[in-house]
Amino acid sequence: MRTEKLMPAHLSRLYKPVGKIVIQWALTDSTLHHLAFAMFKKQGTTPKVEKWEKMFGPRLRLLETMFQRPMFMSFANEAKEIFADVRHVQDLRDYLVHGTAVRYVPERDAIVFERIDKATKDEIRANPEQTHTLSKLLVSFSELAVASDICFDINSKLLNLHAAVKSLKAP
């Protein structure tokens, strides 16, 4: 696969879709907090009791389990679909925010993103000298456009779900 140096024209094409994804993700993250806190309040519990975490993944997993509770079970399928969409765009979002655009691939009209992460325990066990890993993601401009639309759709659904949970009558 032939790659080219990134040019200002490539970067300027990234601003709109990447900006949309990043801004929408901030709303997703905030709305998940508000959704969880509304659920805690409806159940008469607290973030501390429920072990509400700082990291995104554990928070999403906790929300998934909360929708299995009787009070919220009527929203379980809707929440499951939303969370699947969130996970679908999460890796891309992480590359956009924590990585960097490094090359352009003309035949795919795509950008190569790279990011450096701490090595996992398994990677360190396999190679004790390894502390970090370099990973790459190839993403086309059309994929970015679709992802930005998905992020908008996620937030629309999340805000509706939050409103529905807030409207529940406490037991």
What DSSP letter does each residue of the chain carry, written as one string? ---EE--HHHHHHHHHHHHHHHHHHHHHHHHHHHHHHHHHHHHT--HHHHT--SSHHHHHHHHHHHTTSGGGGGGHHHHHHHHHHHHHHHHHHHHHHHSEEEEEEGGGTEEEEEEEEEPPHHHHHH-TT--EEEEEEEEEHHHHHHHHHHHHHHHHHHHHHHHHHHHSPP-
Q: Express each pLDDT in 3-50 by its tens digit.
A: 999 999 999 999 999 999 999 999 999 999 999 999 999 999 999 999
Is pLDDT above 80 for 59? Answer: yes
Is pLDDT above 80 for 88? yes
Q: Report the chain's mean pLDDT, rounded to a whole number.
A: 94
pLDDT at 169: 82
**Other CB atoms within 10 A of residue 127 CB:** 11
For residue 71, pLDDT over 80 is answered with: yes
- For residues 149-168, average pLDDT: 96
pLDDT mean over 98-124: 95
For residue 170, pLDDT over 80 is answered with no
| pLDDT value at residue 1 | 86
Q: Whole-angstrom Cα distance, residue 44 to residue 63?
A: 16
Q: What pTM, to 2 d.p., does this model score?
A: 0.87
pLDDT at 171 over 70: no
Q: What is the pLDDT of residue 2?
A: 95
Quick one: pLDDT at residue 19?
A: 96
The angle formed by the CA atoms of residues 101, 102 and 103, to the nearest 5 degrees, is 110
State what percent of residues in the chain have pLDDT above 70. 99
Nearest C-alpha neighbor of 142 from the set 25, 24, 13: 13
Contact indicator for 165, 72 with CB cutoff of 8 Å: yes
CA atoms of 101 and 137, how far apart (whole Å): 9
